[in-house]
Chain A
Amino acid sequence: MWAVGGRIASSFLTLLAVSVVLFVLVHTIPVSPARVVLGIDATEADIAEFDRDHGLDKALWRQYASWIGNAARGDFGKSIIDDTSISRQIADTFPVTLELVLLGFVFALVVAVPLGVISALYEGQAIDHLARIVSVVGVSIPGFWLGLMLIAWGAVSLGWFPAGGYVPWRAGAVAHLQSLALPAIALGLYYVAIISRMTRSSVADVLLADHVRVSRAMGLPRRRILTYVLKNALPPVVTVAAMSFGYMFGWALIIEQVFNIAGMSRALLSAIFRRDYLMIENVVLVITAVFLTANLIADLLYVWLDPRLSR
Chain B
Amino acid sequence: MSFTRRSFLGTGALAGISLFDPDIVLGADKTLTIALPNNPTTLDPMQISNHDSMAVSNLVFENLLEVDLDGNVGPSLAHKMPEISDDQTIFKFDLRDDVVFHNGAKFSAEDVKYSYEYMLDPKNKSARRTLFAPIQEIVIESPTRIVFKMKHPYRPWFQYMTKFMGIFPKGSREKLGDEAFKNAPVGVGTGPGVFVEWKQNDYLEVKKHANYWRKGVPAWDRMVAKIVTEDAARVAYLMTNQAQIISAPPPREFERLKTAPGIQTGSKVAVGGMWFMQTNTKRAPFDDVNFRKAVSCAIDRKKIAKDVFYGLMDPSAVPAPTVVSYHNAEADKAIGYDPAKAKEYLAKSKYASNAEFELLVPSPPYLFDSTDAAVVMQSQLAAIGIKMKITGMEMPQILTRDIAGTQVASLLPLMGPSDPTFIIQICYQADQLMSKSSGWTSPALDEAMKESYKYQDAAHLDPIYKKIQAILAEDCPNIWLGFVGVSNAWRSEIKNFKPNTGLSIWTRDVQFG
Instruction: Write the residues of chain A forming the contact surface with B, with a CB cutoff of 8 angstroms.
Output: 30-31, 35-36, 38-42, 46, 81-84, 89, 92-93, 95-96, 98-99, 148, 151-152, 155-156, 159, 162-171, 257-260, 262, 266-267, 270, 273-275
Whether the Cβ atoms of B400 and A155 lie closer than 8 Å is no
**CB within 8 Å for A41 and B239 given contacts A95-B19, A260-B228:** no
Interface of B is mostly: loop
Chain B 132-165: CB-based contact to A (< 8 A → 1; otherwise 0): 0000000000000000000000000000000000
Which of A38, A169, A262 is close to B199, meaning CB atoms less than 8 Å apart?
A262
Give B306-341 interface residues, CB cut-off 8 Å to A. none
In the complex the two chains form, what is the Cα distance from A84 to B199 in whole Å? 11
CB of B240 within 8 A of chain A?
Answer: yes
User: How far does the alpha carbon of A260 sit from the alpha carbon of B235 in the complex, in Å?
Assistant: 12
Of B18, B200, B232, B236, which one neighbours A95 at CB under 8 angstroms? B18
The reply to whether B400 and A31 form a contact with Cβ atoms under 8 Å apart is: yes
Name the one of A99, A163, A266 contacting B201, with C-beta atoms under 8 angstroms.
A266
CB of A35 within 8 A of CB of B20, answer no
Contact status of A168 and B21, CB under 8 A, knowing A31-B396, A151-B232: yes
The 10 A-B residue pairs with the shortest CB-CB distance, nearest first, are A262-B202, A163-B236, A168-B23, A168-B21, A163-B240, A39-B127, A95-B19, A40-B399, A164-B233, A260-B228
B229 in the interface (beta carbon within 8 A): yes
30 of the cross-chain contacts (CB-CB < 8 Å) are A31-B396, A35-B396, A35-B399, A40-B399, A40-B400, A41-B127, A81-B41, A82-B41, A83-B183, A84-B183, A92-B199, A93-B201, A96-B19, A151-B232, A155-B239, A156-B236, A156-B239, A156-B240, A163-B239, A164-B236, A165-B226, A171-B26, A257-B230, A258-B230, A258-B232, A260-B228, A262-B199, A267-B201, A270-B200, A273-B364
Which of A39, A93, A159 interacts with B49 by CB under 8 Å?
A: A39
From B23, B49, B230, B433, contact of A260 by CB (8 A): B230
Task: Please report which residues of chain B, range 113-144, place their CB below 8 angstroms from some CB of chain A when the two chains form the complex.
Answer: 125, 127, 130
* Cα-based distance from A39 to B128 in the complex (angstroms): 10
- Which of B229, B237, B394 contacts A257 (CB under 8 A)? B229
| CB–CB A270/B39 < 8 A | yes
Bound complex: CA of A152 vs CA of B239, how far in Å? 10
A166-B21 in contact given A82-B183, A270-B200 (Cβ < 8 Å): yes
- Chain B residues lying within 8 Å of A148, measured Cβ to Cβ, are 232
**Contact residue among B23, B25, B47, B239 (Cβ-Cβ distance under 8 Å from A166):** B23
- Is the CB–CB distance between B400 and A260 below 8 Å? no
On whether the beta carbons of A41 and B230 are closer than 8 Å, the reply is no
Q: How far is the CA of A257 from the CA of B239 in the complex (A)?
A: 18
Determine the distance from Cα of A260 to Cα of B33 in the docked complex, in whole angstroms: 15
Tell me, in angstroms, the Cα distance from A93 to B201 when the chains sit together: 10
Interface residue B179 (Cβ < 8 Å from any Cβ of A): yes
B397 within 8 A of A: yes
Task: For A35, list chain B residues within 8 Å (CB).
Answer: 396, 399-400
Tell me how many residue pairs across A and B have CB atoms closer than 8 Å: 128
Kindly list chain B residues whose C-beta atoms are within 8 Å of the C-beta of A156: 236, 239-240
Complex CA gap A41/B41 in Å reads: 16
Q: Which residues of A contact B21 (CB under 8 A)?
A: 92, 95-96, 166, 168-170
A267 proximity list for chain B (CB < 8 A): 200-201
Contact in complex: A99, B19 (CB < 8 Å)? yes
Cα A166 to Cα B41 in complex, Å, equals 22
Tell me which residues across on chain A come within 8 A of B226, comparing CB atoms.
Answer: 165, 260
Interface flags for B28-66 (1: CB within 8 Å of A; 0: not) read 000000000001011000010100000000000000000
CB B256 to nearest CB in A, in angstroms, measures 12
Q: A82-B183, A95-B18, A95-B19 are in contact. Are A38 and B125 (CB under 8 A)?
A: yes
Complex Cα spacing A259 to B403, Å: 37
- Among residues 212 to 234 in chain B, which have CB atoms less than 8 Å away from a CB atom of chain A? 226-230, 232-233
Contacts of B387 in A (CB 8 A): none
Closest to B434 in A: A40
B25–A170 CB distance below 8 A: yes
**Residue contact A151 to B236, C-beta cutoff 8 Å:** yes
Check A155 against B236 for contact (C-beta < 8 Å).
yes
The residue on B at minimum CB distance from A148 is: B232
**Which residue of chain A has its CB nearest to the CB of B182?**
A82
Q: Are A152 and B236 in contact (CB under 8 A)?
A: yes
B93 nearest CB across to chain A (Å): 28
**Within the assembled complex, what's the spacing in Å between the Cα atoms of A63 and B274?**
41
Which of A38, A82, A96, A99 has its CB near the most chain B CB atoms (within 10 A)? A82
**If A41-B403, A95-B19 touch, does A163 touch B242 (CB 8 Å cutoff)?**
yes
B22, CB-defined interface residue at 8 Å? yes
Given contacts A92-B21, A163-B237, 5 further A-B pairs with CB under 8 A are: A31-B394, A41-B433, A82-B183, A163-B233, A273-B364
Contact between B130 and A41 (Cβ–Cβ < 8 Å)? yes
Distance from B263 Cβ to chain A, minimum over Cβ atoms (Å): 12
- What is the minimal beta-carbon distance from B414 to any residue of chain A, in angstroms? 11
User: A159's closest neighbor in chain B, by CB?
Assistant: B240
For B240, what are the chain A residues with a Cβ–Cβ distance below 8 Å?
A: 155-156, 159, 162-163
Tell me, rounded to whole Å, the shortest Cβ–Cβ distance linking A80 to chain B. 13
Residue numbers in A under 8 Å from B396 (CB-CB): 31, 35-36, 40, 275
B44 CB → nearest A CB, Å = 11
Query: What residues of chain A lie closer than 8 Å to B233, measured between beta carbons?
Result: 151, 163-164, 258-260
Closest chain-B Cβ to A5's Cβ sits at a distance in Å of 21
For B18, what are the chain A residues with a Cβ–Cβ distance below 8 Å? 95
Known A41-B403, A151-B236; judge A270-B201 contact (CB<8 A). yes
Q: Given the complex of chains A and B, what is the CA–CA distance between A145 and B230 in angstroms?
A: 12
Which residue of chain B has its CB nearest to the CB of A88? Answer: B200
* A96 partner residues in chain B, CB cutoff 8 A: 19, 21
